[in-house]
Amino acid sequence: MSEDSDFDKLMRFVLELRQGGVTDARVLAAMERTPRAHFAPEQFKAFAMEDRALPLPDGEFMTKPSTVARVLAALELRGGETVLEVGTGSGYQAAALATIARRVVSLERRIALAAEARARIGQLRLMHVYVHAADGADGWAEDAPYDAIVVNAAIGTPSPTEMKQLASGGVLVAPVVGENGQRLMQFRKGADGSFVARDLGPAQFAPMARGLVADATGKTAGE
């Protein structure tokens, strides 16, 4: 029996996302158009079309596709937005965001990982994605305000600085740790600067860490 073609794998991948509850056409199109294998380490490319987290250097992980799709849906992008992503990782989610958003600014505290993600994104000619090696815990004021902000690390409460960088009517999505464990939360900013929170269900992300990491030893830049 012949192995499944790449097209068959892609169709099964998208079907599994649908069966998992992803119904937003823009999100499904983004997942279909973004080649996850391009961002996976060589030894794990064969598993790129599976709904599983994949190891990255320095103990990081590529987020499961179903989780990426869930986050994209929570951002409620319609096209033309400027999006801030905190935690670039492999660059896969930034690339998926770029299929919908007008501009994506992505921050990664691990300098080597940021460089690798920037290179992979550049190979796809996604010229409207900007990856910065930066501690993103307080956002990125230079390109604010943002129509949407996504934080890819568990936090106690959203950063007030990031909240200020969010445009009126904008949405911030982040995993938040509380009495009920870790939950994926959506915060929508009103015209008066207030926020309406919406619980999107359980989440499982690594905790937010601070400081630039210069190399695999875990040392922060300047040490």
Can you read off the two tokens belonging to residue 48? 């790129």
Q: Are 141 and 117 in contact (CB under 8 A)?
A: no
Rounded to an integer, what distance in angstroms lies between the CA atom of residue 66 and that of residue 158? 23
Rounded to an integer, what distance in angstroms lies between the CA atom of residue 26 and that of residue 42? 29
CATH of the domain at 11: 3.40.50.150
Domain for residue 159, yes or no?
Answer: yes
In tens, the pLDDT along 4-44 reads 667 787 788 888 888 877 888 999 999 999 999 999 999 99
Give 2's pLDDT tier (boundaries 50, 70, 90). very low
Domain for residue 50, yes or no?
Answer: yes
Domain for residue 104, yes or no?
Answer: yes
Rounded to an integer, what distance in angstroms lies between the CA atom of residue 35 and that of residue 96? 9
Which comes out higher in pLDDT, residue 93 or 1? 93
Provide the domain limits for residue 76: 6-202
Domain for residue 110, yes or no?
Answer: yes
Share above pLDDT 70 across residues of the chain, in percent, rounded to a whole number: 94
Domain for residue 152, yes or no?
Answer: yes
Q: Give pLDDT, residue 59.
A: 80
Q: Give pLDDT, residue 18.
A: 84
Domain for residue 77, yes or no?
Answer: yes
Other C-beta atoms lying within 10 Å of the C-beta of residue 59:
10
Q: Give pLDDT, residue 26.
A: 93
Domain for residue 211, yes or no?
Answer: no
Domains of the chain: total: 1
Q: Give pLDDT, residue 219.
A: 54
Q: Give pLDDT, residue 141.
A: 96
Other C-beta atoms lying within 10 Å of the C-beta of residue 50:
16
Task: Average the pLDDT over 72-85 and give the result.
Answer: 96
Supply the pTM of this predicted model.
0.91
In tens, the pLDDT along 128-171 reads 999 999 999 899 999 999 999 999 999 999 999 999 999 999 99
Cβ neighbourhood burial of 113 (10 Å; 0-12, 13-18, 19+): buried
Domain for residue 214, yes or no?
Answer: no
Can you read off the two tokens belonging to residue 144? 């604010």
